[in-house]
Amino acid sequence: MSDHTDTPSGTPPSHRRILVIKHGAFGDFVMALGAFQALRRHHAGDHLVLQTIPSLVPLARASGWFDEVWTDPREKGLAALLATRRQLKGGRFDLVYDLQSSDRTGLYFQLLRPFPPRWSGTAWGCSDPDPNPNRNATHGTDRYAMQLASMGIPQVPPPDAGWITADVSRFALPDRYVLLAPGCAPHRPEKRWPEAQYADLANRLAARGLTPVLVGTKSEAETTAAIAAACPQAIDLTDRTSLFELGGIARQAAGAVGNDTGPMHLLAVVGCPSVVLYSHASTPTQSGQRGPKVTILREPDLKDLPAGRVEAALLALMGDLPSPGSR
């Protein structure tokens, strides 16, 4: 039997202190939105704290689901571990939902011995180990739902991202446009569809009266600039949008095409018709984007994926869109 402090079974007492751990990356965070909603609903009378990474703190606070949002101390070394231990012990948590379930968060559990709180996750010796034997092969959204079900929370709703939006009038975008998200983590070039194919697609869309709108972070500016240079009709919003503005732009877009990245999870979940491009380097059954209208195209080497195939998939998704004047 593991050494932990537990609470009586049955109706949980009110005003318990609950910690939810979910770090990154951004796409994983989006996949956890439904779980966050379910936790807030289940623990309506409790004090809910989220620990996440600095870049996701504004998003977590804006959700309204948490009473506090803590930043995970990412430093290494003994001093940092002791500081983390003080923070976690000072929280005096009754229950922890470790949705991250990484080696790092497993260490956090060990730091709380000899009397850790009740803990749901994969940490060795925790009170409520995740019962899913295929956890690592399960899609993130389903994995979180199964973990919560084992804790007596049987219903996890579809992610509600209605609050991830903003006034985007300052961009003065045309009536009909398609978002292109050609970026990816710099250390994962094998997950990128080549610039030349994006440029080909951009020109195909422009010929149909659909304005290509490029989105991404500062690190992707060189890629998006090259695509914009090859398509004069394109609008480059790289490094100009917040996550909230990206959500607002996506809601008004006719569609989107992008690599397997976090922003495509957001675009998909807000309902933008999205075509997501996968290579051999990632597995959509484990981390694929989900939403009302999502098509995933997979080619072992993305260099072999022609723009015409991507265009056809996008047009199929957009088939029941209203005409521009009926928006």
Report how far residue 192's alpha carbon sits from residue 296's, in angstroms, rounded to the nearest whole number.
14
Indicate if 50 and 143 belong to the same structural domain.
yes
Q: 95 lies in a domain?
A: yes
Q: Which of 149, 177, 205 is the last residue of a domain?
A: 149
**Furthest C-alpha separation in the chain:** 66
DSSP assignments along 32-61, one per residue:
THHHHHHHHHHTTTSEEEEEE-GGGHHHHH
Indicate if 177 and 308 belong to the same structural domain.
yes
Indicate if 256 and 116 belong to the same structural domain.
no
Indicate if 220 and 266 belong to the same structural domain.
yes
Tokens for 150, please give them: 């084992």
Indicate if 203 and 67 belong to the same structural domain.
no
Sign of the CA dihedral 91, 23, 45, 244?
positive
Per-residue pLDDT tens listing for the chain (327 residues): 333 333 333 444 568 999 999 998 899 999 999 999 999 999 999 999 999 999 999 999 999 999 999 998 777 888 888 888 999 999 999 999 999 999 999 999 999 999 999 999 999 999 999 999 998 899 999 999 999 999 999 999 998 898 999 999 999 999 999 999 999 877 888 999 999 999 999 999 999 999 999 999 999 999 999 999 999 999 999 999 999 999 999 999 999 999 999 999 999 999 999 999 999 998 999 999 999 999 999 999 999 999 999 999 999 999 844 434 333
For residue 324, give the DSSP letter: G
Q: 162 lies in a domain?
A: no
Sign of the CA dihedral 250, 274, 34, 85?
negative
Q: Can you say how many angstroms the Cα of residue 128 is from the centroid of all Cα atoms in its chain? A: 25
**Alpha carbon separation from 285 to 77, 115, 140 (Å, rounded):** 36, 38, 9
Q: Which of 84, 119, 149 is the last residue of a domain?
A: 149
What pLDDT is recorded for position 9? Answer: 38
Give the helix/strand (H/E) hosting 88: helix 78-91
Indicate if 140 and 274 belong to the same structural domain.
no
What pLDDT is recorded for position 187? Answer: 80
Sign of the CA dihedral 302, 304, 305, 306?
positive
Indicate if 178 and 132 belong to the same structural domain.
no
For residue 318, give the DSSP letter: G
Indicate if 67 and 114 belong to the same structural domain.
yes
The answer to whether the CB of 236 falls within 8 A of the CB of 128 is no
Report how far residue 276's alpha carbon sits from residue 142's, in angstroms, rounded to the nearest whole number.
19
Report how far residue 55's alpha carbon sits from residue 306's, in angstroms, rounded to the nearest whole number.
35
Q: 157 lies in a domain?
A: no
**Alpha carbon separation from 228 to 52, 152, 221 (Å, rounded):** 35, 51, 10
What pLDDT is recorded for position 326? Answer: 33
The pTM (predicted TM-score) of the whole model is 0.89
Report how far residue 207's alpha carbon sits from residue 319's, in angstroms, rounded to the nearest whole number.
17
Q: 2 lies in a domain?
A: no
Q: Which of 82, 116, 149 is the last residue of a domain?
A: 149
Helix 195-207 and helix 307-317, axial crossing angle in degrees, nearest 10? 50
Q: Is 225 exposed, middle or buried (0-12, 13-18, 19+ CB in 10 A)?
A: middle
Report how far residue 254's alpha carbon sits from residue 211's, in angstroms, rounded to the nearest whole number.
10
Q: 21 lies in a domain?
A: yes
Q: 327 lies in a domain?
A: no
Sheet containing 235-236: order of strands: 235-236, 211-214, 177-181, 255-259, 274-278, 294-298
Residue 114's domain is classified under what CATH number? 3.40.50.2000
What pLDDT is recorded for position 324? Answer: 40
C-alpha angle 36-186-107 in degrees, rounded to nearest 5: 45
Q: Which amino acid is at 25?
A: A
Q: Which amino acid is at 166?
A: A
What pLDDT is recorded for position 189? Answer: 86
Q: 326 lies in a domain?
A: no
**CA nearest 117: which of 132, 135, 100, 98?**
98
Tally the domains of the chain.
2
Q: 11 lies in a domain?
A: no
**CA nearest 31: which of 183, 156, 190?**
156
Domain that holds residue 93: 17-149
Indicate if 281 and 199 belong to the same structural domain.
yes
